[in-house]
Amino acid sequence: MSIRCNDANRAFFLQAGGCSYALQVTDGDYLAHVYFGRQLPDSDLSYLLRLDENPFTPSVNDRDRAVYMDTLPFECPCFGIGDYREAAVQILDADGMSACDFRYDSYTVTAGKTAIPGMPATFASDEDAQTLCIRMVDKHAELELLLYYTAFEKLNVITRSAMVKNLGNRSCYIQRLLSATLELDDSNFDMITLNGSWARERHAERAPLHMGKQRIDSVRGESSHQNNPFFALARPNADEDCGEVYGFNLIYSGNFMAQAERTQHQCVRAQIGINPTDFRWLLEPGESFWAPEAVLVYSCEGLGGMSRTFHDLYRTHLIRSPFRDKRRPVLINNWEATYFDFDADKLISIAEEASRLGIELFVMDDGWFGHRDSDNSSLGDWRVYESKLKGGLKPLVDKINALGMEFGIWFEPEMVSPDSDLYRAHPDWAIQIPGRDLTLCRAQYVLDYSRKEVRDYVYNMLCDILRSANITYVKWDMNRQLTEVGSAALPAESQRELWHRYVLGVYELMERFVTDFPHILLENCSGGGARYDAGMLYYSPQIWASDDTDAIERLKIQYGSSLCYPVSAMGAHVSVCPNHAVGRNTSFVTRGHVAMVGTFGYELDVTKLSEEERNMIPWQIDTYKRFCHLMRDGDQYRLANPNSNTEYDAWMFVSKDQSEALFTYVQILRRPNYRSRRITLRGLKADAYYRVEETGAVYSGAALMYAGLNLENLWGDFQSKQIYLTEVEKEC
């Protein structure tokens, strides 16, 4: 890692892991992007900018300056001065003008990484990263723009952020400030995005770039089920193992946009940041505004290389939880077991059986507070529902602790039901447009988290509950999207800030939570996986991936999620069949193998399982405990893509020292009269030997990777197999 700055040429050269990123200040003090890709030894790449090519440059063709503005690959394109592609920054000044023109002023280089006030961001020691800050100035508007670039020592990662400060004495509005723009000099790319809906989140889609803009986004107030703030641009020939891929991810949990724009000269402008739709931020004199952090990953080892880089970055430089490197307790959650229909006795009977089988943590889900018997009431009244839990929480928790199990609890702190004491006392605390009907979603409203008194009130209720018994796990849910986005507390000129202020309020409360309760394992959730994003990972080491627990549906969800997010952060449970989301029957073994690729647990009533299935639980738990370090700390290799491969899925986790590996194969539909299927493995040492635990057979890493293993045609649909490999001294 190094950041080299050539003062004479006004060029910047960042080395991160095995890649290089180059910037250049041009005549006129514009900041141009020159290169991002494989590591290069050169420090002057200004020849790539075509600054001598007529008609693209004013020094050659001064009468056509607009052509220059519309073709220069800008690092932070400004709106309104001749660049007609998507802008990264747009300011509305006190005179009502919306053009801005930031020019290069100066730079600093510092060791380590700058934090972003009030927002999640990657962190790094002075040895692990170096940060370049480029100062840009719009003299006319009296604004400063700081562009931050962090290069990581061991990873092919550049993180970026931006900050605008008002240096003048008149207020202005920021109408957009994207976190990163990356200009690529040709358009020969496929765009990969993660899309879906409730119960089918993050299905990966891949399509060639076409002319114009292709965008995914959210205007829902959360990162959303529908699109995830991640995309990749992959060379058409890039696959899991080979080829160039650029990955983009935003460390943010609210409205976002992510876009690739193929322009008139067949270049690509790739961008990610807060969605400018309905965004406007008042910037008073002396104030500053930060954009969230964007992560840019370069891989010349295909999608697999990109994913492993994201995983390593997030596992070591984003997730802070003390649980990050620990084995998470095997949990049982009562949601699919009981829904709202439970009392203390029912929970204890499930816990008794669960503890006998070796399950370590009991999680009481929705329905324990207010008078909540359905999703029609009580959100906001975080007091125990006495007719369900007589005597309160402590007797229940004590009994569960006495069984040798930990206890966890569900909250939905950002919400309020119209039928709640909280709403009756403070109707203005819901996000709303006064005078307009409020749209219900799951019979609930969203609390105005831009207001400190609202956050404080809810937080105090949470604290009372958390301190009333021995609670070691919290599931923090968020079950609806935002509508009628207005605040009773904000002045008119700041109303459009509410989208972002809401997210900042959530972050502020989560920060308080993890500071005050470091011993509590926090799992985020949002109606399944509507906030499955890197912002949340800064606070919680795991996120519930989807309300769809069917093992076969999960293959696509887990494949897509793993493109960007480490499986150590993925909430995955074994549930009953027929599955509650799709009615499918799969074997208990397969459900276990699929859920093990995540924070393993159960979401069922163990007292109602067949003897055969119940007896499998201790074995599943032992297997998970034996191998979970590979999922948590190892390298992931996807061996199939369940979006295109309807016959099987397969993946591997290999320890960092390549001495052990776990291979999982899921046969989707059995084919009649077929022989075994040959699959080549990945990530092993070619010149080492590995023993297959089940058979005792020993093969070279080369044979396993280049020739493959034969997998028997399993009997029946939705069957699976796990194979554990350990390195042995020599061929025997």
Residues with a known catalytic role = 477, 547
Crossing angle of helices 551-564 and 302-317, rounded to 10°: 80
CA pseudo-torsion sign 260, 263, 269, 272: negative
Complex with ligand GLA: residue 528 or 601, whichever CB lies closer = 528
3-state secondary structure of 589: helix
Per rule CB under 6 A, is residue 416 in the interface with ligand GLA? no
Q: Tell me the closest approach of the beta carbon of residue 544 to ligand GLA, in angstroms.
A: 6
Complex with ligand GLA: residue 413 or 528, whichever CB lies closer = 528
Q: Residue with structure tokens 């929480």?
A: 393
**379 to each of 172, 421, 466, how far by Cα in Å?**
38, 9, 17
| Binding flags for ligand GLA, 88-107, as an x/- string (CB under 6 A) | --------------------
Interatomic CA distance for residues 78 and 85, integer angstroms: 10
Complex with ligand GLA: residue 487 or 575, whichever CB lies closer = 575
Kindly indicate which of the ranges 116-124, 428-436, 485-493, 521-529 contains the residues binding ligand GLA, using the contact rule CB under 6 A: 521-529
Neighbours of 117 (CB within 10 A): 10
| Binding flags for ligand GLA, 213-232, as an x/- string (CB under 6 A) | --------------------
Complex with ligand GLA: residue 93 or 477, whichever CB lies closer = 477
Q: Residue with structure tokens 């800030």?
A: 497
Give the up-direction half-sphere exposure of residue 117: CA atoms within 13 A in the CB hemisphere: 4
Per rule CB under 6 A, is residue 533 in the interface with ligand GLA? no
What number of chain residues touch ligand GLA (CB under 6 A)?
11
Per rule CB under 6 A, is residue 410 in the interface with ligand GLA? yes
Complex with ligand GLA: residue 334 or 719, whichever CB lies closer = 334
Per rule CB under 6 A, is residue 477 in the interface with ligand GLA? yes
Per rule CB under 6 A, is residue 523 in the interface with ligand GLA? no
Q: Residue with structure tokens 């999922």?
A: 631
Closest CA to 372 of 431, 434, 305, 419: 419
Per rule CB under 6 A, is residue 527 in the interface with ligand GLA? yes
Of residues 229, 273, 329, 528, which one binds ligand GLA by CB under 6 A? 528
Complex with ligand GLA: residue 156 or 479, whichever CB lies closer = 479
Cβ atoms of 664 and 720 within 8 Å: the answer is yes
Of residues 525, 576, 681, 725, which one binds ligand GLA by CB under 6 A? 525
Q: Tell me the closest approach of the beta carbon of residue 266 to ligand GLA, in angstroms.
A: 43
* Structure tokens, 155: 């990873």
Q: Tell me the closest approach of the beta carbon of residue 475 to ligand GLA, in angstroms.
A: 6
Q: Tell me the closest approach of the beta carbon of residue 369 to ligand GLA, in angstroms.
A: 12
Distance between start and end Cα atoms, the chain: 43
Kindly indicate which of the ranges 21-29, 144-152, 522-530, 612-620 contains the residues binding ligand GLA, using the contact rule CB under 6 A: 522-530
**Where do the DSSP E strands lie in 112-234?**
129-138, 143-152, 157-166, 172-184, 190-197, 200-208, 212-218, 227-234
Select the residue whose beta carbon is closest to ligand GLA and give its number. 366
Interatomic CA distance for residues 425 and 405, integer angstroms: 38
Complex with ligand GLA: residue 70 or 603, whichever CB lies closer = 603
Per rule CB under 6 A, is residue 365 in the interface with ligand GLA? yes
Q: Which residues partner with 31 through β-bridges?
A: 25
Complex with ligand GLA: residue 409 or 681, whichever CB lies closer = 409
Q: Which of residues 306-345 bind ligand GLA (CB under 6 A)?
A: 335
Q: Tell me the closest approach of the beta carbon of residue 410 to ligand GLA, in angstroms.
A: 6
Cβ atoms of 497 and 282 within 8 Å: the answer is yes
Cβ atoms of 259 and 214 within 8 Å: the answer is yes
Kindly indicate which of the ranges 129-137, 318-326, 523-531, 667-675 contains the residues binding ligand GLA, using the contact rule CB under 6 A: 523-531
Q: Which of residues 678-707 bind ligand GLA (CB under 6 A)?
A: none
In sequence order, the 6+-apart residues with CB closer than 8 A to the CB of 619 are: none
Q: Tell me the closest approach of the beta carbon of residue 603 to ligand GLA, in angstroms.
A: 8
Name the helix (H) or strand (E) containing 287.
none
DSSP state of 56: S
Amino acid identity for residue 605 in this structure: D
Interatomic CA distance for residues 586 and 626, integer angstroms: 24
Closest CA to 377 of 432, 444, 428: 444
Closest CA to 73 of 63, 58, 62, 85: 85
Complex with ligand GLA: residue 309 or 444, whichever CB lies closer = 444
Kindly indicate which of the ranges 25-33, 427-435, 520-528, 604-612 contains the residues binding ligand GLA, using the contact rule CB under 6 A: 520-528
| Binding flags for ligand GLA, 419-458, as an x/- string (CB under 6 A) | ----------------------------------------
**480 to each of 227, 340, 414, how far by Cα in Å?**
15, 18, 10
Complex with ligand GLA: residue 505 or 527, whichever CB lies closer = 527
Kindly indicate which of the ranges 291-299, 445-453, 525-533, 553-561 contains the residues binding ligand GLA, using the contact rule CB under 6 A: 525-533
Per rule CB under 6 A, is residue 544 in the interface with ligand GLA? yes
Name the helix (H) or strand (E) containing 85.
none
| Binding flags for ligand GLA, 140-179, as an x/- string (CB under 6 A) | ----------------------------------------
Of residues 187, 223, 228, 479, which one binds ligand GLA by CB under 6 A? 479
Interatomic CA distance for residues 187 and 189, integer angstroms: 6
Interatomic CA distance for residues 283 and 280, integer angstroms: 10
Q: Which of residues 615-634 bind ligand GLA (CB under 6 A)?
A: none
How are beta strands 648-654 and 709-711 bridged, if at all?
unpaired
DSSP state of 428: G
Complex with ligand GLA: residue 30 or 539, whichever CB lies closer = 539
Per rule CB under 6 A, is residue 532 in the interface with ligand GLA? no
Kindly indicate which of the ranges 105-113, 524-532, 666-674, 696-704 contains the residues binding ligand GLA, using the contact rule CB under 6 A: 524-532
Name the helix (H) or strand (E) containing 677.
strand 677-679
Interatomic CA distance for residues 280 and 491, integer angstroms: 13
Of residues 75, 366, 406, 548, which one binds ligand GLA by CB under 6 A? 366
Applying CB under 6 A, the residues found at the interface with ligand GLA are 335, 365-366, 410, 477, 479, 525, 527-528, 544, 547
